[in-house]
Amino acid sequence: MSQRRKQPDELRSFRWFGPDTHRAFGHRSRMQEMGFAREEFMGKPVIGIVNTWSDTNTCHSHLRDRANEVKRGVMQAGGFPVELPAMSVGEQMTKPTSMMYRNFLAMETEELLRSQPIDGCVLLGGCDKTTPGLLMGAISMGIPAIYLPAGAMLRGHWRGKTLGSGTDVFKLHAERRAGNLSDDDWNSLESGFARSAGTCMVMGTASTMMSLAESLGMTLPGASTIPAVDATHAQMAVRAGMRIVDMVWDDLTPAKILTREAFDNAITVDMALSGSTNAIIHLTAMAGRAGIDLPAERFDEISKRTPVLCNLKPAGTHLMEDFYYAGGLRGLLNRIGDLLNLDCLTVNGRTLGENIAGAEVYDDDVIRTRGNPLSPTGGTAVLRGNLAPDGAIIKPTAAEPRLLKHRGKAVVFESVDDMYARVDDENLDVTADSVLVLKNGGPLGAPGMPEWGQLPIPKKLLRDGVRDMLRISDARMSGTSYGACVLHVCPESAVGGPLAFVRDGDEIEMDVEARTLHLHVSEAELKARREAWQPPPAHYSRGYGSLYIQHVTQADKGADFDFLHAGEPIPEPKIF
């Protein structure tokens, strides 16, 4: 912590409001035009509340109220709050994929904060890509920032069963395709899955990234696991508003919190949660903004030493509401405290160790003990081999164990359109031992790296009782998904990675324990296929899509824009 607190004339906003100049006169005058008295904003920290609420973001339908509660906290602490709407990257409605707009939100967040008289910010998000997008922008901007997670929705219910959004939808949709659910069954499910504001209530990408934001030290203690509609969540919003004002006076910026050790903590927690495979891409991108390199090997090293203690769907059986009542993230962190760097600073000015001291667990089935883990090693494995020279990802805890060491013949789909056109063809040459392969699902090939990685199992196999197969792609999959799905194959097929050269009948072998993924095709044959290969045409010739395909990096670099990685700081705007 800084030993010297800022003075009012050292505030960033002072450059807009403080000087005796024509321009500052105009700024003050226009603030008064909106009904604000001079003493409300002069000499006080101006706090930007970056709000990703919208009528189409189902996870964030309560964030209008939370923004007002943050404002209450800012004003109680002597700051001046201003709300800054940002692109609401909702997982449900945003097409072709929300991942394509994560970097857009990151840029918008950074530039909103840079171009306005903002001294510190509270970031309101939760849906999958909003957490990394907001934090990436705040990291690059470099002013004090605190993240307020949206929280998960309430449990789903249907005909006496407790259901998890995403995970159980995928499972029941497989039953629907197999002919085991009627139209009435399927239609009645719709009102039972999503029962309140908030994100998916399984340990999908949203819950994972909210938890990792807290593990990194960017939220107040306990903020990540409060259900969205719990009264405690509104109270946390007020506290975040109050805290950010002191953070401005103390100049507590993300750079002082997001150290290499903090990212190691986040990776450790991700593995203990059996968190979403998407977390690897997002943490890599966030670390890149902080000037920290996170090679895939680091995730694997930490995975091998970290047990899975969180028994939540899709890897386990419980839901986020259960996690909260069982002790939440603080309880889990306390159980793996010896695997964490407890000296890391957090946004409340205390260390991670101080924040989790005394935290208890109230249900040993939801948050397992070290002697009874869900898995003895972490929830994600990094594979390498001639099919994925720069790495690929699998979530072993979500796959049928029989498939963790498997060799089979490839059934290849050149695109997602090709896959949906043929996957249910009764004449498709496929068996339960086949390896389904999808090309052109990566950052450039799709574009935007959509959640196509949980390839559908052919109907004829579903009818025979098959519920999991080895599936390989350069796409992602939802954090709520499950199955033996190898993802993020890198380099992707659209840039001429080895995945581009796989053909029907080629044998592919995966061994998760050995961390290998091998295509059994000779180097000479691969060379001939490579020489005959033609890259697919570009998807966009103008607009944001054109910018995206020109500058997005591969999955192993976080799929961020190359020009947004850490570098020389951008100068403050001139005010004349």
Q: What is the DSSP letter of 328?
A: H
d(CA 502, CA 495): 14
d(CA 257, CA 88): 26
Length of the chain: 576
User: Residues 59, 126: contact at Cβ < 8 Å?
Assistant: yes
Determine the Cα angle at 105 with ends 574 and 152, to 5°: 135
Distant-in-sequence, close-in-space partners of 415: CB < 8 Å, separation ≥ 6? 438, 439, 440
How high is the pLDDT of residue 568? 87
d(CA 373, CA 315): 12
Q: What is the DSSP letter of 158?
A: E
How high is the pLDDT of residue 3? 62
What tokens does 77 get? 């602490």
Which of 233, 244, 243, 200 lies closest to 65, judged by CA?
233
How high is the pLDDT of residue 162? 84
> What is the pairing mode between strands 388-394 and 381-385?
antiparallel
pTM: 0.95
User: Residues 119, 46: contact at Cβ < 8 Å?
Assistant: yes
What tokens does 562 get? 């190359």
d(CA 488, CA 83): 36
Q: What is the DSSP letter of 163?
A: E
User: Residues 536, 494: contact at Cβ < 8 Å?
Assistant: yes
Which of 139, 298, 274 lies closest to 213, judged by CA?
139
User: Residues 98, 91: contact at Cβ < 8 Å?
Assistant: yes
Q: Which residues pair with 471 in a beta bridge?
A: 436, 485
Alpha-carbon Rg for the chain in angstroms: 24
d(CA 349, CA 247): 8
d(CA 463, CA 60): 38
Q: Which residues pair with 405 in a beta bridge?
A: 511
d(CA 332, CA 369): 9
d(CA 253, CA 145): 7
In tens digits, the chain (576 residues) has pLDDT values of: 446 899 999 999 999 999 999 999 999 999 999 999 999 999 999 999 999 999 999 999 999 999 999 999 999 999 999 999 999 999 889 999 999 999 999 999 999 999 999 999 999 999 999 999 999 999 999 999 999 999 999 988 888 888 888 777 778 888 888 888 888 888 888 877 788 999 999 999 999 999 999 999 999 999 999 999 999 999 999 999 999 999 999 999 999 999 999 999 999 999 999 999 999 999 999 999 999 999 999 999 999 999 999 999 988 999 999 999 999 999 999 999 999 999 999 999 999 999 999 999 999 999 999 999 999 998 899 999 999 999 999 999 889 999 999 999 999 999 999 999 999 999 999 999 999 999 999 999 999 999 999 999 999 999 999 999 999 999 999 877 889 999 999 999 999 999 999 999 999 999 999 999 999 999 999 999 999 999 999 899 999 999 999 999 999 999 999 999 998 889 999 998
What tokens does 16 get? 């807009």
Catalogue all structural domains in the chain, each as residue range(s) with its CATH number. 45-154+196-356 (3.40.50.2300), 158-192 (no CATH), 385-532 (3.50.30.80)
